[in-house]
Amino acid sequence: MSRADARLLVVPVVEDGGVTRLHDPSAHSFASDNYAGAHPEVMQAILDANGGHVGSYGADPYTARLAEVVIETFGEGSSIDPVVTGTGANVAALQALTPRWSAVICAATAHVYTDEGGAPERLGGIKLLTVPTPDGKLTPELIDRQAHGWGDQQRPQPLAVTITQSTELGTVYTPDEIRAITDHAHALGMRVHLDGARLANAAASLGVPLRALTRDAGVDSVSLGGTKNGLVLGESVVTFSEEARAGLVFLRKMDAQLLSKMRFVSAQFLAMLDDDLWLRSAAQANGMASRLATGLADLPGVTITQPVDANAVFVVLPRHVVEPLREAHRFYDWNRASGEIRLMCSFDTRPEHVDRLVADARELLGS
């Protein structure tokens, strides 16, 4: 447990307009976009969906409307299945794409490999074949390092590829880069899944619609992120063919991902997709990351280690600065050996949050 996490265990009591809170609602950190609260428009959507009785397990008007909006967003033949967590979305989506004896190729830094607690392999029964990459992005050439051994009974059969958008290193695939991967994978008989926990940030960065990075680029299925972009809870699996969705309705239940009161997750996705809230929120986070990187890059002894394509800034600071800066702003180490840290911006990150961190870093470096 990091010092930042340990401090969160101290329960404050904040009186706010007669309301007793267990946290300071003005607090902000750069630890993760998961730390942020929910967007007010999302909260309103939940309130609007409340009251009265409607069908459970997806048999409600909000989930029905969401199915229509997903077709409007991604195109005819698109389907959406809300789930509870991003881990569950990835596991269920990959299970639906692969038979029991298969393997999935991914980057060595992919979230599905490094941060799912082994769920794809332990829960999903999916062997992951990893490939080292310099920037978190796979290419057809990198995929070929693991795309072999078909028919060999001694080797799990590589039958799918999963890519992360944006990547764990904050980099972004262009539509052409994704198309190159899908064309190559499909030619080899493999399907392609996209872990889109931060798909909105990638699309906002490139100025393209969501479908340009998914359906139009040949992807078979997507884990569509919600919580990192302002939802209270809930993710979704979006598929673009009956084959990609095969069995998913059963897998959601088997993987403990079927929501009983699904209307509340569906209502949140409606709020995100209906009025381009996804774009406004992601663009805000991306813009603040760019501002943060620009501010830090001018400081002595500071190195930005990855392109700032979306809402993540990877940076190496002089070691004596890291802990006092972490005390004030909270962030995670990425590579302790090199001193690299990760700073994440959220939909609710504002210029004053960024400027305060940069000013504190400047003061610490000066001292």
Per-residue pLDDT tens digits for 179-192: 999 999 999 999 99
End-to-end CA, the chain = 29
Number of folded domains in the chain? 2
Is pLDDT at 233 greater than 50 in this prediction?
A: yes
- Please give the residue range of the domain that contains residue 16: 3-30+278-366
**Alpha-carbon span 89 to 255, nearest angstrom:** 9
Q: Average pLDDT in the 265-282 region?
A: 96
CATH number of domain containing 10: 3.90.1150.10
Same-domain status, 317 and 263: no
Q: How far is CA 65 from CA 57, 73, 144, 263, in A?
A: 15, 12, 41, 10
246 in a domain, yes or no?
Answer: yes
Place of tokens 């919580």: 227
- Residue 51, sorted as left (phi over 0), alpha (psi -120 to 50) or beta, turns out to be left
Q: Please tell me the predicted confidence (pLDDT) of residue 224.
A: 98
Same-domain status, 283 and 265: no
Q: Which residues contact 66 (CB under 8 A, 6 or more apart)?
A: 80, 82, 266, 269, 270, 273
Per-residue pLDDT tens digits for 102-142: 999 999 999 999 999 999 999 999 999 999 999 999 999 99
Contact yes or no for 173/162 (Cβ under 8 A): no
Per-residue pLDDT tens digits for 9-61: 556 666 666 778 899 999 999 999 999 999 999 999 999 999 999 999 999 99
Last residue of a domain, one of 243, 275, 307: 275
- Residue 361: enclosing H or E segment and its boundaries? helix 351-366
Chain mean position to CA 77: 24
**Alpha-carbon span 365 to 367, nearest angstrom:** 5
Is pLDDT at 2 greater than 60 in this prediction?
A: no
Helix/strand/coil for 343? strand
Q: Please tell me the predicted confidence (pLDDT) of residue 134.
A: 94
Same-domain status, 69 and 168: yes
122 in a domain, yes or no?
Answer: yes
- Residue 223: enclosing H or E segment and its boundaries? strand 221-224
Same-domain status, 282 and 265: no
35 in a domain, yes or no?
Answer: no
Is pLDDT at 367 greater than 70 in this prediction?
A: no
Q: What's the token pair of residue 164? A: 């992360």
Same-domain status, 321 and 185: no
Same-domain status, 288 and 179: no
Same-domain status, 22 and 127: no
Percent of the chain at pLDDT above 70?
95
Q: Please tell me the predicted confidence (pLDDT) of residue 213.
A: 98
237 in a domain, yes or no?
Answer: yes
Q: Please tell me the predicted confidence (pLDDT) of residue 142.
A: 98
191 in a domain, yes or no?
Answer: yes
Per-residue pLDDT tens digits for 284-326: 999 999 999 999 999 999 999 999 999 999 999 999 999 999 9
307 in a domain, yes or no?
Answer: yes
Same-domain status, 96 and 138: yes
Helix/strand/coil for 235? strand
Got the DSSP string for 91-138?
A: HHHHHHHS-TTEEEEEETT-HHHHSSTTHHHHTS--EEEEE--SSS--
- Mean pLDDT, the chain, whole residue set: 95
Is pLDDT at 203 greater than 50 in this prediction?
A: yes
Is pLDDT at 163 greater than 60 in this prediction?
A: yes
Q: Which residues contact 95 (CB under 8 A, 6 or more apart)?
A: 124, 125, 126, 247, 251, 255
Cis status, amide bond into 166, omega within 30 of 0: yes
275 band by pLDDT with thresholds 50, 70 and 90:
confident
209 in a domain, yes or no?
Answer: yes
116 in a domain, yes or no?
Answer: yes
Model pTM score: 0.94
Last residue of a domain, one of 275, 298, 320: 275
Same-domain status, 167 and 287: no
Q: What's the token pair of residue 271? A: 């709020």
Same-domain status, 270 and 305: no
Same-domain status, 269 and 284: no
Same-domain status, 132 and 86: yes
**Alpha-carbon span 295 to 289, nearest angstrom:** 10
Last residue of a domain, one of 253, 275, 297: 275
Is pLDDT at 6 greater than 90 in this prediction?
A: no
**Alpha-carbon span 264 to 62, nearest angstrom:** 8
